[in-house]
Structure 1
């Protein structure tokens, strides 16, 4: 709109003409909003409220008489209050660049004054103290011209080649170098130890790996050997079982053959021996009876003695056969045959005795005729 003016956010609009401003200022201050300005009758100017910068490079003499070149940077701006804007507007509105020049000169003077009361060591080690003192001493003076300082930074301090700062820093440099060498040696030692530890661990790992591989290889070889031997072992076990079965079969055949031999050879031989023994006993009894009969006076007494002795003869024959191991193969018929055989043997013995007695009857008669005539007494 014609005649309506609005300042930028970082500007202050100064309207001259008409009534005066605050505190009797020759202009009114408008910030943050617009204002209708009558053309021709009013005049508008703008004052920057933005941040400004000023650099200072000043030669200063310390309390020790040593010349130092100090470089600093000051950040400042016009204050936001109306009074500061009015003060700055009256001084710098026509040439706002003069704010940086004037600020640099003000701080250069304060730097020379404060550094002159300090030693080089204090300036080097207490830069923040130097900056704070400069700001404190310049604050009131800067406020008079409507400026406020945001920061002061000491960029560098140079002794102009005198070597004082270098000499002052020599012990510290030596100490730092010594500490650096010690730290480097410690680092080298730590690196060597770490390398040795790493080599040792690698060796242990390699050894453990080799042991595990050897164990795996041995296990694989063992399993392969077992697998390779499984077939022959199974065949050997089978052959062994076959041999054991054949051996058992042969043993059973031998036992059966032995039983057959005992039944066919030993037992008949034992029975024959027993029979011969019984016959021998019967023969001896016969001779005894014959002798007794020869001493008797009659044939009747002799027959009677034989008859009485026949059961004893059969009993002796049966007693002889009782110790023999006879295999009866046909049951009750076999038992009948054995009994009939015993009786037959007794009768055969009796027959034999009678025949023997008949052959010697004549001699016996003579002997009986000359005897005592008593009857034969059989015991």
Structure 2
């Protein structure tokens, strides 16, 4: 629209030519437009954007050491009307002078502040230095309508004197020492870690080898046991067979022993007992004959034989008691046996009587010859033996 002007967002529109307010020779318009009468009014624009000023100034410290300090200032015109009016009155015709003038102002304050500080303070307390410079220039910058956003000390140089380097030498040495110690500790820790890793690997390898050896031994033992299972079972079966055969042989031996006792020993013992009984009977017979011959008394001899007959029968029965005999027919068989024994006793009595008569007629023979003939040649004695062996009822 004709006569209507609008400033940019970072500009202030200054309208001059009208009636002033008595304080400002122009009207300030920001953030909106305004009608400007041509010819009667004049419009100018003042930038409100940020500008940068660099300062590189040689300074002398409190210790008399020359330093070159480089700093950067970020500043702008204030947003209020007073700041815009003050800046417009000073920089509207040449707005580039704002950065130049700001740098010169800060250079002066920087020399002043550094002159009251030592190199050590400047190096170690840069923020303090920047704060004091800002505080010292604040009033002057406000009068020009400028506002400092930031001040940064970029570099401090002693011009090759080596003071700053020498000042840093102890710290560098300590840092290097600490670095070397740290490196040594790191190397030692790395070596220990490596050794620990090697030990762990060795331990793991050993455990693995032991475990594998154990598995191998168990496998071999199982295989050996499996291979021996068949022979062991066969040996066990053979052992059981041998044990059964041994037991059977023992039982057969016991049975054979019992058979030998029943078939050989008992009959032999019975025969021996029978022989002994007959021998005793012959001896008693001889004694009776001798007694009869000596007394020449046939009646006494008969009585003596009759008196001895029960004992002879009893001993003959006792001799046959252990013989291998079978008794049948119950009580009848037993009666027959007793009858046979009694008949044998009568036969023995009759034989003895005949022998005694013959001996009485032959008194001239000796007693020993009569005993021998009676024992060896008497047919009745043989009959008795036959009868003793014969009766089995």
Interval containing the TM-score (normalised by the shorter chain)? 0.7 to 0.9
Secondary structure class of the residue paired with 2:174: helix
Q: Provide the residue aligned with 1:358 in structure 2.
A: 354
Structure 1 runs not aligned, ≥5 long: 368-379
Q: CA deviation at 1:250?
A: 1.8
TM-score of the aligned structures, taking structure 1 as reference length: 0.77
- Over aligned residue pairs, what C-alpha RMSD do you find? 3.8
Q: Provide the residue aligned with 1:150 in structure 2.
A: 149
Query: In the aligned structure 1, how far is the partner of 2:331 from the partner of 2:324?
Result: 10
TM-score of the aligned structures, taking structure 2 as reference length: 0.75
**Size of the alignment, in residue pairs?**
361
Task: Determine if the alignment matches structure 1 residue 344 to structure 2 residue 343.
Answer: no
Deviates more, 1:136-145 or 1:219-228: 219-228
Structure 2 runs not aligned, ≥5 long: 364-393
Contact in 2 for aligned 1:142/1:148 (Cα 8 Å): yes
Q: CA deviation at 1:131?
A: 1.1
For residues 186-335 of structure 1, the aligned pairs below 5 Å read 186-288=185-287, 302=302, 306=306, 309-320=308-319, 324=322
Q: Flag the 1:331–1:299 CA change in 2: closer, same or farther, 3 A.
A: closer
Query: In the aligned structure 2, how far is the partner of 1:76 from the partner of 1:223?
Result: 93
Query: In the aligned structure 1, how far is the partner of 2:45 from the partner of 2:335?
Result: 169
For residues 152-191 of structure 1, the aligned pairs below 5 Å read 152-191=151-190
Query: In the aligned structure 1, how far is the partner of 2:219 from the partner of 2:156?
Result: 79
Deviates more, 1:61-70 or 1:92-101: 92-101
Q: Provide the residue aligned with 1:128 in structure 2.
A: 127
Q: CA deviation at 1:208?
A: 3.0
For residues 15-54 of structure 1, the aligned pairs below 5 Å read 24=24, 26-31=26-31, 34-35=32-33, 37=35, 40=38, 47-54=46-53
Q: Flag the 1:237–1:6 CA change in 2: closer, same or farther, 3 A.
A: farther
Q: CA deviation at 1:154?
A: 1.0
Query: In the aligned structure 1, how far is the partner of 2:51 from the partner of 2:335?
Result: 160
Secondary structure class of the residue paired with 2:108: helix
Contact in 2 for aligned 1:12/1:47 (Cα 8 Å): yes
Query: In the aligned structure 1, how far is the partner of 2:90 from the partner of 2:142?
Result: 12
Secondary structure class of the residue paired with 2:53: strand
